Structure 1
Amino acid sequence: MTTQTVLPVEPNTLQSISAGNGEPAWLTESRVGGLRLAAELELPKLEKTKLERWDLSHFGAFRSGQPARSQELPAQVASLVDLKEDSNLLVQHNSSVVYTRLSADLAAKGVIFTDLETAVREHGDLVKTYLHTAVKPEENRLTALHAALWNGGVFLYVPKNVEVEIPLQSIFLIDDPSASFAPHVLIVAESNSRVTYVDNYISGSYESKIVHNGAAEVFVKAGAKVQFATVHHLNEQTTDLIHRRAVIDNDGSIEWIVGEMNAGDSVSETLSILKGNGSLSDAKVIAVGSGSQKLNYTTKAIHFGKSSDSQMITRAVMREQATAIINGITKIEKGATKANGEQTEKVLMLSPKARGDANPILLIDEDDVTAGHAASVGQVNQEQIYYLMSRGITREQAERLIIYGFLAPVVSDIPLEQLQEQLQGLVERKLGQ
Structure 2
Amino acid sequence: MEKVNVMREPTWSYTKLNYSEKAPSINEFKKYLNKECSNKENKNLDEVFAPKTYGLSEAFLKENKEFNNLNIYREIEGESGLEFINLNLDSKSNQLVTKIDINARKNSKSSFLLNFSQSEKTKSIINSLIRVNLDEDSFVKLVVVVDIQENSSNFQQISSIINDRAKLDISYIELQADESYVSIKNFLDGNESSLEENGIYFKDKNEFLDIASFNEHKGEITSSNCLFNGALKGKAEKRWKGVVDLKRGCIKADGKIGDYAMMLSPDAINRSAPVLLNEEKDVAGEHAASVGRLNKSMLFYIMSRGFSKKKAESLMLEANFAPTIDKVDHKELREKLRYKIHTMNTRD
TM over 0.5: yes
Tell me the alpha carbon deviations over residues 219-270 of structure 1, each in whole angstroms, 9 at most, x when there is no partner.
Answer: 0000000000011011121111111001011000111111111332111111
Give the 3-state SS of the residue equivalent to 2:275 in structure 1.
strand
The one of 238, 256, 280 equivalent to 1:342 is: 256
Residue 353 in structure 1 maps to residue 267 in structure 2: yes
Letter in structure 1 aligned against 2:85 = S
Task: Find the aligned partners of 1:332 and 1:196 in 2 and give their Cα distance.
Answer: 28
1:156 equivalent to 2:123? Answer: no
1:277 maps to 2:191? yes
Quote the Cα distance in structure 1 between the aligned partners of 2:53 and 2:87.
20
In the alignment, is residue 182 of structure 1 matched against residue 100 of structure 2? Answer: no
Asked whether the equivalents of residues 4 and 56 of structure 2 are also in contact (C-alpha less than 8 Å), the reply is: no
1 or 2, which has the higher strand percentage?
2
**What residue in structure 1 maps to residue 13 of structure 2?**
none
For the 8 Å contact 1:131–1:186, the answer to whether it is kept is no
Are the counterparts in 1 of residues 91 and 122 from structure 2 also a CA contact under 8 Å?
A: no
Calculate the aligned-residue CA RMSD, in Å: 2.6
Q: Which letter does structure 1 place at the counterpart of 2:60?
A: L
Is 1:62 aligned to 2:22, yes or no? no
Q: Cα distance, 1:147 vs. partner?
A: 1.7
Instruction: Please say if residues 241 and 274 of structure 2, whose CA atoms lie closer than 8 Å, have aligned partners that are also in contact.
Output: yes
SS at match of 1:182: strand
Deviations 1:161-197 (A, max 9, x none): x111x21010111113875311111101100000000
Shift of the 45–389 alpha-carbon distance from structure 1 to 2, 3 Å rule, reads closer
Paired AA for residue 35 in structure 2 = V
Rg bigger for which structure? Answer: 1
Does residue 288 of structure 1 match 2:288? Answer: no
Deviations 1:395-428 (A, max 9, x none): 4432221111222231222233333212212212
Alignment of 1:84-163 (within 5 A): 95-98=32-35, 115=37, 118-119=38-39, 121-122=40-41, 124=42, 129-130=47-48, 139-159=57-77, 162-163=78-79
1:238 to 152, 158, 167: 152
CA distance 1:46–1:319, change in 2 (3 Å):
farther
- Secondary structure at the aligned position of 1:61 is classed as coil
CA distance in 2, matches of 1:298, 1:423: 23
| 1: CA distance, partners of 2:133 / 2:66 | 21
Kindly provide the CA deviation profile for residues 67-121 of structure 1, in whole angstroms up to 9, marking residues without a partner as x.
xxxxxxxxxxxxxxxxxxxxxxxxxxxx14536xxxxxxxxxxxxxxx3xx42x3
TM-score normalized by structure 1? 0.72
Q: Is the 8 A contact 1:357 1:377 kept in 2?
A: no
1:315-368 deviation digits (Å, cap 9, x = unpaired): 111111111112210001111111110112111111111121221101111111
Q: Following the alignment from structure 1 to structure 2, what is the Cα–Cα distance between the partners of residues 371 and 219?
A: 25
My pick for the range that moved more, 43-52 or 271-280, is 43-52
For 1:344 and 1:332, locate their aligned partners in 2 and report how far apart those are by CA, in whole Å.
16
Corresponding residue number in structure 1 for 2:215: 301
Q: Deviations over 1:120-177 (max 9, x none)?
A: x33x456665587767689521111112112213211112xx111x210101111138
Check the 8 A contact 2:154/2:177 in 1, yes or no.
no
SS of corresponding position for 2:120: coil
Aligned to 1:393: 307
Say how many residue pairs are matched: 338
Look up the equivalent residue of 1:294 and give its one-letter code: F
Judge conservation of contact 1:229–1:257 (CA < 8 Å) in 2: yes
Instruction: Using structure 2 for the length normalisation, give the TM-score.
Output: 0.88
Return the alpha-carbon distance in structure 2 between the equivalents of residues 177 and 97 of structure 1: 9
Question: In 2, distance between residues paired with 1:168 and 1:142?
Answer: 27
Cα distance in 2, alignment partners of residues 126 and 216 from structure 1: 11
Aligned to 1:200: 115
Q: 1:135–1:245: 8 Å Cα contact kept in structure 2?
A: no
Between Structure 1 and Structure 2, the one with more helix by share is: 1
What amino acid maps onto 1:61 in structure 2?
A: E
Quickly say closer, same or farther: Cα 1:300–1:136, change in 2 above 3 A.
closer
Structure 2 letter corresponding to 1:225: F
Contact 1:201 1:232 (8 Å CA) reproduced: yes
Where does residue 88 of structure 1 map in the other structure? none
Mapped partners of 1:224, 1:418: distance in 2: 29
Asked if the contact 1:60/1:179 (under 8 Å) is kept, the reply is no
Which residue of structure 1 lines up, in the alignment, with residue 4 of structure 2?
Answer: 44
Contact 2:5–2:211 (CA under 8 A) maintained in structure 1: no
Q: Distance in 1 between matches of 2:303 and 2:29?
A: 56
Counterpart AA for 1:411 = I
Contact 1:138/1:144 (<8 A) preserved: no
| Secondary structure of residue in 2 paired with 1:376 | strand
Question: Does structure 2 conserve the Cα–Cα contact (< 8 Å) formed by 1:311 and 1:342?
Answer: yes
Asked whether the 8 Å contact 1:244–1:269 carries over to 2, the reply is: yes
1:404 equivalent in structure 2: 318
